[in-house]
């Protein structure tokens, strides 16, 4: 199939960007969206033009590197998939496709479709972990966890930190990402000792970098791992509860 692409080109963070039109001819419907861009890039290289820069790595939908706005939708029209697993059979011959980088104040552009998503790591640094040093673990089966709890925790843990939720949100909020980690750890018995400190620390760093959540729900709609917006409600509940709890006095009995 033949397609017309309008791709955002921007040489650096401070350079001025613009849409450039490219023809993508003779594309196999079995190719992934990124493989289609590979073909365009090979032709650009042949013509002596710098290839379009975009992030990608595993191309199996799990590393979270790739992501772009495709006709205004993060990761494109298929739903429940990362850009690398979006295949061209979802488009038809003659389509015009507009390709842009993630749009969010927290994610400045590095080049073309590459953006800096490091504030997401900062949220994890603030508390997205269980504090257990190597060597101090107890025998794994001394901890019994109901299957339903484990499954729910796994649903949240499936997040790939691609940033689509932020990019699609009109407010540029990172609630879905943050709440998924809060729920993954907060649902498990291992995560209980730090449950309330964790949510406060993560939410505070999140608010430093990202916009506010007003429950548009667009994040859930584009999440490649279909993470549920219910986790945001759960995070808010934990956050409010944390404000009423004084963990120190609780420890003192």
Partner 1 sequence: MALDSKIPPGPIEKKWEYAKAHYKLVNPANKRKYDVIVVGAGLAGAAAAASMAELGYNVQCFVYHDSPRRAHSIAAQGGINAAKNYQNDGDSIYRLFYDTVKGGDYRSREANVYRLAELSVDIIDQAVAQGVPFAREYGGVLDNRSFGGVQVSRTFYARGQTGQQLLLGAFQALERQIGLGRVTMFPRHEMLDVVLVDGQAKGIVTRNLVTGAITSYAADAVVLATGGYANVFYLSTNAKASNATAIWRAYRRGAYFANPCYTQIHPTCIPQSGDFQSKLTLMSESLRNDGRIWVPKKAGDARRPDQIPEDERDYYLERKYPSYGNLAPRDIASRGAKEVCDEGKGVGASGRGVYLDFADAIKRIGRKVIEERYGNLFEMYQDITAEDPYVVPMRIYPAPHYVMGGLWVDYNLMSTIPGLYVGGEANFSDHGANRLGASALMQGLADGYFVLPVTVGDYLAGQLGKKVSADRPEFKQTQAEVEQRISKLVSAKGTRSVDSFHRELGNILWELCGMARTAEGLKKAITDIRTLRDQYWRDVRILGTNEEPNQALERAGRVADFFDLGELMCIDALHREESAGGHFRVEYQDKGEAKRNDDEFLYVGAWEFTGDNSAPSLHKEPLVYEELKLATRSYK
| From 51-59, 171-179, 215-223, 228-236, span contacting partner 1 (CB under 8 A) | 51-59
* Integer Cα distance of 232 and 194 in angstroms: 18
* Integer Cα distance of 217 and 50 in angstroms: 37
Choice from 131, 212, 214, 246 touching partner 1 (CB under 8 A): 131
**In the window 211-250, what residues touch partner 1 (CB under 8 A)?**
none
Choice from 25, 28, 105, 217 touching partner 1 (CB under 8 A): 28
| From 69-77, 112-120, 170-178, 206-214, span contacting partner 1 (CB under 8 A) | 112-120
Does 81 engage in binding with partner 1 (CB under 8 A)? Answer: yes
**In the window 86-105, what residues touch partner 1 (CB under 8 A)?**
87, 89
Total residues at interface with partner 1 (CB under 8 A):
78
Rank residues 110 and 216 by Cβ distance to partner 1 and give the closer one.
110
DSSP secondary structure string for all residues of the chain: --EEEEEEE-SSSSS--EEEEEEE-S--TTSBHHHHHHHHHHHHHHHT-PPPP---SSSSS-S-----EETTEET-TTSSS-GGG-BGGGS-TT-EEEEE----TTS-EEETTEE--HHHHHHHHHH-S----TT-PPPGGGS---HHHHHHHHHHHT-----HHHHH-TT-B-HHHHHHHHHHHHTSGGGSTTHHHHHHHHHHHHHHHSB------HHHHH-TT---THHHHHHHHHHHHHHH--HHHHHT-
Does 23 engage in binding with partner 1 (CB under 8 A)? Answer: no
Q: How far is the CB of 253 from partner 1 (least distance, A)?
A: 26
| From 52-60, 68-76, 211-219, 241-249, span contacting partner 1 (CB under 8 A) | 52-60
User: Which of 166, 23, 149 lies closest to 102, judged by CA?
Assistant: 166
Choice from 25, 118, 208, 243 touching partner 1 (CB under 8 A): 118
| From 97-105, 115-123, 208-216, 228-236, span contacting partner 1 (CB under 8 A) | 115-123
Does 55 engage in binding with partner 1 (CB under 8 A)? Answer: yes
| From 67-75, 138-146, 212-220, 243-251, span contacting partner 1 (CB under 8 A) | 138-146
**In the window 161-180, what residues touch partner 1 (CB under 8 A)?**
161
Rank residues 66 and 242 by Cβ distance to partner 1 and give the closer one.
66
């Amino acid at each position: 199939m033949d397609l017309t692409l309008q791709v955002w080109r921007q040489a650096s963070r401070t350079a001025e960007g613009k849409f450039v039109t490219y023809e993508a001819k003779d594309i196999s419907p079995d190719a992934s969206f990124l493989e289609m861009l590979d073909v365009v890039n090979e032709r650009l290289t042949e013509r002596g033009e710098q290839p379009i820069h975009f992030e990608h790595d595993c191309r199996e939908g799990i590393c979270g590197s790739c992501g772009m706005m495709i006709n205004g939708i993060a990761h494109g029209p298929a739903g429940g998939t990362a850009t690398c697993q979006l295949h061209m059979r979802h488009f038809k011959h003659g389509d015009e496709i507009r390709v842009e980088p993630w749009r969010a104040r927290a994610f400045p552009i590095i080049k073309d479709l590459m953006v800096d998503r490091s504030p997401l790591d900062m949220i994890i640094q603030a508390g997205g972990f269980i504090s257990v040093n190597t060597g101090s673990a107890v025998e794994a089966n001394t901890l019994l966890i109901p299957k339903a709890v484990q499954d729910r925790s796994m649903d949240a843990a499936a997040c790939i930190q691609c940033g689509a939720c932020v990019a699609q949100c009109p407010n540029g909020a990172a609630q879905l990402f943050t709440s998924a980690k809060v729920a993954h750890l907060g649902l498990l018995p291992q995560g209980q000792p730090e449950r309330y400190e964790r949510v406060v620390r993560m939410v505070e760093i999140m608010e430093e970098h990202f916009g506010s959540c007003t429950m548009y729900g667009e994040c859930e709609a584009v999440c490649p791992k279909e993470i549920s917006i219910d986790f945001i409600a759960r995070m808010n509940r934990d956050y409010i509860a944390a404000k009423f709890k004084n963990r120190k006095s609780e420890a003192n009995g």
